[in-house]
Amino acid sequence: MCDPSYLGANFAWPLSPLNPQARLSFDIRSLENPPKHVRDSHNGTSKRLQEWMRQNSTFTVRRDAIASEIQTAMAELLDKQGEHLISKSAESRKIRANEEDELSVLFEPEMRVGINCQMGRHRSVAMVEEPAKVS
């Protein structure tokens, strides 16, 4: 079986909704913005801004909750993938080991996750990479 891919995307709400739509979506507009001098000289991919965000306990609590929800959803996706393979196996009763691998390639699960803030430049950009670091 192949593991689901985590595809994180940030977006500005409501300026640019995601297309295709995310399986999970998180609104982090309530998180504190970094100070203006940090926002003016850095975006969410900046190490300095990411460090500032990680020092904010509200950010880390929200990050951990998001990572946990993503992990749960990915486990459910893997369960569905396993059910898919079992049903295919039961139908044919003649699946060889390499054919099972071929079936799992046909079912390439994606965990598309959207994380939005107001402008989509600082908080959501910094947050989108965090769940992969936590897991």
> Distance between CA 120 and CA 45 in Å, rounded?
12
Residues in the chain predicted with pLDDT less than 50, given as ranges, are: 1, 90, 93-98, 100-106
Question: What is the pLDDT, as a whole number, of residue 105?
Answer: 45
Is pTM beyond 0.85 here? no
> Distance between CA 56 and CA 59 in Å, rounded?
5
Question: What is the pLDDT, as a whole number, of residue 68?
Answer: 92
Question: What is the pLDDT, as a whole number, of residue 3?
Answer: 57
Domain boundaries, the chain: 5-134
> Distance between CA 116 and CA 12 in Å, rounded?
6
Question: What is the pLDDT, as a whole number, of residue 86?
Answer: 52
